[in-house]
């Protein structure tokens, strides 16, 4: 049944739109579900901002090196600043996760009963093997591109490779920590509908956290124009082949709702 999403609190409208977008329009919009969906979506948006800041920070370090490279030696200080920025972003990511956990605890404390679900989901249930393979393959290939650029004799290219590898390390650590958080986060649900919604949110978060978009973007942003032509061709192939693989996986893998219902039914 389609329901109106006008003249309602912002949290309810946001949660209602999310339910309708996933074909869960018949799921009752309880205060628990509205609060949890709203917090998750806002945390996801803020997480995207953190990734954007990482890309901008790495780009600024690389740009500063290119500007100064013609008149002076390549310095390690900007790379150290980038490392400090990454540590700060990881701490902010941890604070976001803590915010979500507190919101879940507050919501769970209001429940008279909870849906029984004795076993936490594993990474295959949240992410799925195809998405995991694409994410791992993309990351390893990006590291290989960075290592190949590091072997180039030109100092400017090697400096860009160092910036790339540091940025990739930050992305990798952030992804691992976020997946660990998703696996450890307690399940909060009051019935089967809210339990299904819980798993949909987890699967969405897992797929979002392992999205290869940032890893695809870093090599071209940091090394195009200065790397050798063979490296540029390899980087273009990396993006195009990775995009094709991701499209195939996305088309052939069940959606978040179907995966969530399968997991709930199997338990």
3-state secondary structure 24-71: CCCCCCCHHHHHHHHHHHHHHHHHHHHHHHHHHHHHHHHHHHHHHHCC
Q: Please check the confidence at residue 3 and state whether its pLDDT lies above 80.
A: no
Which residues neighbour 52 within 8 Å (Cβ) at sequence distance 6 or greater?
Answer: none
Are the C-beta atoms of residues 261 and 200 closer than 8 Å to each other?
no
Size of the chain in residues: 267
Contact 220, 142 (CB under 8 A): no
Query: Would you state the pLDDT for residue 34?
Result: 83
Q: Model-level pTM?
A: 0.86
Residue 153: which region, alpha, beta or left (left: phi > 0; alpha: psi -120 to 50)?
Answer: alpha
State the residue for tokens 């909060």.
Answer: 188
Q: If pLDDT is split at 50, 70 and 90, which confidence band does 132 have?
A: very high
Residue 59 — very low, low, confident or very high, per pLDDT cuts 50/70/90?
A: very high
Could you count the other beta carbons within 10 Å of the beta carbon of residue 154? 12
The Cα 207–Cα 231 span in angstroms is 29
The Cα 63–Cα 224 span in angstroms is: 12
Q: What is the mean pLDDT of the chain?
A: 85
Residue 264, SS3?
Answer: helix
Ranking 184-198, 211-225, 239-253 by mean pLDDT, the lowest is 184-198
CA distances from 174 to 40, 82, 133 (A): 17, 15, 18
Burial level of 232, CB count in 10 A (0-12/13-18/19+)?
A: middle
Confidence of residue 115 (pLDDT cuts 50, 70, 90): low
* pLDDT value of position 138: 96
* Residues 225 and 60: beta-carbon distance below 8 Å: no
Please compute, for residue 214, the number of CA atoms within 13 A of its CA located in the half-sphere on the CB side: 26
pLDDT at 256 over 90: no
């Amino acid at each position: 049944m389609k329901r109106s999403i006008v003249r309602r609190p912002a949290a309810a409208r946001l949660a209602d739109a999310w339910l309708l977008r996933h074909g869960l329009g018949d799921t009752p919009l309880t205060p628990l579900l509205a609060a949890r969906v709203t917090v998750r979506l806002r945390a996801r948006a803020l997480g995207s901002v953190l990734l954007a800041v990482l890309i901008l920070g790495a780009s600024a370090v690389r740009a500063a090196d290119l500007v100064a490279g013609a008149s002076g030696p390549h310095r390690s200080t900007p790379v150290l600043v980038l490392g400090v920025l990454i540590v700060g972003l990881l701490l902010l990511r941890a604070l976001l996760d803590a915010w979500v956990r507190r919101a879940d605890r507050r919501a769970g404390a209001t429940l008279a009963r909870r849906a029984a679900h004795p076993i936490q989901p594993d990474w295959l249930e949240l992410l799925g093997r195809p998405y995991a393979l694409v994410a791992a393959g993309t990351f390893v290939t990006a590291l290989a591109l960075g290592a190949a650029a590091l072997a180039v004799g030109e100092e400017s290219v090697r400096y860009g490779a160092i910036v790339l590898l540091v940025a990739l390390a930050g992305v990798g650590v952030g992804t691992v920590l976020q997946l660990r958080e998703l696996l450890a986060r307690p399940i909060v649900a009051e019935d089967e509908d809210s339990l299904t919604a819980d798993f949909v949110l987890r699967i969405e978060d897992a797929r979002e956290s392992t999205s290869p978009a940032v890893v695809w973007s870093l090599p071209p942003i940091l090394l195009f124009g200065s790397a050798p032509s063979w490296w540029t061709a390899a980087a273009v192939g990396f993006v195009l082949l990775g995009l094709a693989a991701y499209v195939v996986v996305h088309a052939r893998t069940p959606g978040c709702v179907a995966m969530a219902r399968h997991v709930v039914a199997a338990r």
